[in-house]
Structure 1
Amino acid sequence: MKLDIAGVGVTLDGKPILDGVSLTVPQGSVVGLVGPNGSGKSTLLRTVYRSLRPLTGAVKLDDADLWSQPIRASARRVAAVLQEGGSSALTVAEVVELGRTPHHGMVSRATAADREAVRVAMDRAGVTELAARPMASLSGGERQRVHLARALAQEPSLLVLDEPTNHLDIRARFALLSTVRDLGITTLAVLHELDLAVRSCDHLVVLDHGKVAAAGNVLDALTPTIFREVFGVHAKAERHSDGVVRITYAADPLGDL
């Protein structure tokens, strides 16, 4: 399904955080949301997974306004993986099973469909062998994969990721984002590391001071001008002969800005 964010504005404590933000995430694509700290990235995600109601504008999934739907109905369509937090006394299987909550009442028993959804989610996220392990015993990368499995157990049409690679080592970062790309689920992800974003996303949206500064494919969005004016560095993104886009920083990235 396609996500459309149209003219979204958010004000917190009398301070404008987002100002008329519009973007589209095409069906099945991975769109990265990037920008300096405080640019409004996580705030925008909160309007998508219904943690923060926008003051203006609309958030639509296949032309249906998510904020006009019952919360349980939208929770069946949108799943969020937030920044990796603390551990839990629950086992991996129990955490993944929580993803089925929007599909039945709190006192309902798990059905065969629930059990199959959990099995498939754990397999897709690569955590099946961890099922009986307590969350407290896992590494940061393993925990993020479990949270991804929990989101997949919701069987969502849209996946929302808020800095999913935060605190992970480099191998775990690449592995997690490779898994996300292979899912084929429409995905909007806040990514702090530009080097990972250019390798992992189909399109990028650059936020700056609550507004869209650039959007499009990776090379169109991250121009030398955007690097300089938004991120405050001298750099350029180029597609190399192996097909991979890489960022090259000037010898003095901060010089003569």
Structure 2
Amino acid sequence: MKLLVDEVAVTLDSTPVLRGVSVEVEPGAIVGLVGPNGSGKSTLLRAVYRSLRPGQGAVRLGGTDVWAMSARESALRTAAVLQDNTIPAGMTVAEVVELGRTPHSRAPYSRVPHKDGGREPVEEAMRRTGTLALAGRPFGALSGGERQRVLLAKALAQSPLLLVLDEPTNHLDIRARFELLELVRELGVTTLAVLHDLDLAVRSCDSLVVLHEGRVAAAGHPLEALTPGVLSGVFGVVGEVAAHPDGIVRVTYAARPLAATALVPS
């Protein structure tokens, strides 16, 4: 399902945080939101998953304004994996994943059939994320990578049309980061993700939206969005993005910081 963010503006405590931001995510695509701290990335996600109402503009999912939906209708369509997920102490992995079925029914989760008549959605979500073997373990006893997979399983148990991720690879080791983003790619769900690591973003996303001071500084394919000018002007580093012979898009940074190179008068 297509996501359209149309000229969204948000002001918090009299301070403009988003200034006319527009983003499109085509069905099944992964779009990465990147930018320096304080550029408005997480605020934009909050507007998308209906946690923060924009002062101006609209967020449309499948052509419908998300704020014209009820909270339950929105939850049936959009699942979010956030940095500040608070899971009650003592819950097992299976119980955490079952929370994803809350928008669908008030009946016991095990009695809720998959909407397509297939495998029970909690079990299916755990199978797809490789967490079935963890079902009986306490969530609090898991490693960082395992927790992220379980939270992704919880989101998938909602059977969402849109997946919203806020720095899903934060605090994960290198292998876990690659595995998680490869899993998101395999899911085929329309995804909008905030990513801190630019190299992971260019490898994993179909396109990027670069936010800077609440505005879209650049957007498009990673090779088009992260130009040397954007890297220096927005992120304050010297570097370039290029597709290598193995087909992987990578970011290469200069050995010296921007202040010691690009800012020297010519």
TM-score, normalised via structure 2 length: 0.93
Question: Which of 198, 202, 216 is matched with 1:198 structurally?
Answer: 202
1:81 match: 81
Conservation of the 8 A alpha-carbon contact between 1:33 and 1:191: yes
C-alpha contact 2:105 2:112 (8 A) present in aligned 1: no
Per the alignment, residue 122 of structure 1 pairs with 126
Equivalences, count: 255
Contact between 2:9 and 2:17, CA under 8 Å: does it hold in 1?
yes
Q: What is aligned with 1:230? A: 234
Task: Return the TM-score normalized by structure 1.
Answer: 0.97
What's 2:188 paired with? Answer: 184
State the percentage of identical aligned residues: 64
Q: Which residue of the partner structure matches residue 69 of structure 1?
A: 69
SS of residue in 1 equivalent to 2:19: strand
Q: Distance in 1 between matches of 2:136 and 2:255?
A: 50
1:160-202: CA deviations, max 9, x gaps?
Answer: 0000001111111111001001100000000000011011100
Q: What letter is aligned with 2:105?
A: H
Q: Does 1:100 align with 2:81?
A: no
1:38 Cα deviation from its structure 2 partner: 0.2
Counterpart check, 1:133 vs 2:161: no
> Cα RMSD (Å) of the superposition?
1.2
Aligned amino acid, residue 109 of structure 1: P
Q: For residues 94-148 of structure 1, give each alpha carbon's deviation from its aligned partner in whole angstroms, at most 9, with x where no partner exists.
A: 000000000013xx22324168010110111110110000011100100010000
Where do 5+ consecutive residues of structure 1 fail to align? none
2:53 and 2:129 map into 1 onto residues whose CA distance is 30
Q: Is the 8 A contact 1:84 1:164 kept in 2?
A: no
| 1:253 paired residue number | 257
Report the AA paired with residue 166 of structure 2: D
After TM superposition, which residue ranges in structure 1, 4 or more long, deviate above 3 angstroms?
A: 84-88
The runs of 5 or more residues in structure 2 that have no matched partner are none
* Separation of aligned partners in 1, 2:256 and 2:5: 37
Q: What is the match of residue 52 of structure 1?
A: 52
CA contact (8 A) 1:18 1:44 kept: yes
Task: Output the CA distance in 1 between the equivalents of 2:219 and 2:36.
Answer: 15
Tell me, in whole angstroms, the C-alpha distance in 1 between the residues paired with 2:120 and 2:66. 27
Equivalent residue number for residue 3 of structure 2: 3
Shift of 1:83: 1.5
